[in-house]
Amino acid sequence: MATCRAAVITEHNKPLTIQQVTIPALDAGSLLVKITASTLCGTDVHRWHGPLGDKDTLPIVTGHEPCGTVEDIAGERTDILGNPVKRGDRVVWSYVACGSCYYCAVACQPCICRGRASWGHNRSDQHPYLLGSCAEYMYVPKECLIIKVPEEVTSASAAASACAYRTVMHGYDRLGAIKSHETVVIQGSGPLGNFATAVAKDHGAKKVLVIGAPANRLEVTKKMGADAVLNLEEVSDEKQRRQWVKEHTDGRGADVVIQVATNMAVPEGLTLLRDGGRYLNIGAGGKANIAVEKIPQEMLFITVRSGEPRHWLQAIDFLASRKKAFPFEEMISKSYKLEQINEAMEAMANYSVVKAVINF
Ligand SMILES: [Zn+2]
Ligand SMILES: [Zn+2]
């Protein structure tokens, strides 16, 4: 039986090991992809520290942000645009919703499908074995929609579009149009915050204000088009941060606030919004309470989870078509080899990098 190398979590909080994992036989419509890059995400760190869902059991191949080239296809496949997929094509691919439940078929909200499949938490010793991206190969189930990666997008950026960037695109999809007189405040300056900054500028916001940390991340934020940034480490008083937003918005507060940090940022974020504004809540993790009586009048509160296949396409398309306007590569801060997986996970855990990539 053929095998390939993969970074496996065998015990929570213990070093990952590089193991030989079975390459499955392909069933009709499925693909085998040779991974070229896998970016790491906070979620990978959370899953390393402890199980995220109660159904998840070890050992698992870590990673859920892959980009790779098609090694083998069982039968004929087309991509999300209807073009044939061939061996050697560089691709990313969507998660899979069941397609036939209430959320998928009636509400048309497949991201909250209860039977949704995703990567980076699947057992490495059970078929189809290779559903984590920190591996030389990944198995791509037939239900996945395939998005080809154009030449001008690097594998590392394409990989990041498989989680962070497509979630941002989903958020903007639900938010709707940003008008040319509107000011957007973004809470968070990690990969999602920096990508969200570029999209807000591109979508025509008059002003994009970003509150984040540390200083090196905010330098990237400025290059992604932020009109002004506020360093949380320097301005630790919430009142001063609110004052800063008021000064930029004629005392009203922002038209749109986008949270891409943690749940703990939400109570403050709501105070940065004008009455009637829109709050887009993306960042997960952490706990917070909202004082209902302080919620701005007539506001909209929008949440998103993950992305639909079209958002993978939108993210890849944005990276390709706006390449000249934004230095996307600067969001990937450090490159590692597969055998350096523990170093890379540690760097993500202690925030010493914005986004780490495993290059193959
Ligand atoms: Zn992720
Ligand atoms: Zn479903």
Spacing, Cα 64 to ligand 1 middle (Å): 6
Distance 272 CA to ligand 1 centre (A): 27
Ligand 1 centre to CA of 137 (Å) is 19
Question: What is the distance in A from the centroid of ligand 1 to the CA of 95?
Answer: 12
Note the pLDDT of residue 91: 98
Global confidence as pTM: 0.95
Whole-angstrom distance, CA of residue 125 vs CA of residue 354 = 32
Spatial CB neighbours of 219, under 8 Å, sequence gap ≥ 6? none
- The Å distance, Cα 59 to ligand 1 centre, comes to 19
CA distances from residue 214 to 234, 235, 334, 351 in whole angstroms, order as listed: 9, 12, 16, 9
Q: Which residues of the chain have pLDDT under 70?
A: none
256 C-alpha vs ligand 1 centroid, how far in Å? 24
- ∠ CA 179-182-186, nearest 5°, is 115
pLDDT at 139 (0 to 100): 98
Q: Ligand 1 centroid to 41 CA: how many Å?
A: 4
pLDDT at 1: 81
CA–centroid distance, residue 1 to ligand 1 (Å): 31
How many A from CA of 163 to the centre of ligand 1? 5
Instruction: Work out the percent of the chain whose per-residue pLDDT is above 90.
Output: 92
303 phi, psi to nearest 5 deg: -115, 155
Q: Which residues surround ligand 2, an ion (CB under 5 A)?
A: 97-98, 101, 104, 113
CA 117 / ligand 2 centre spacing (Å):
10
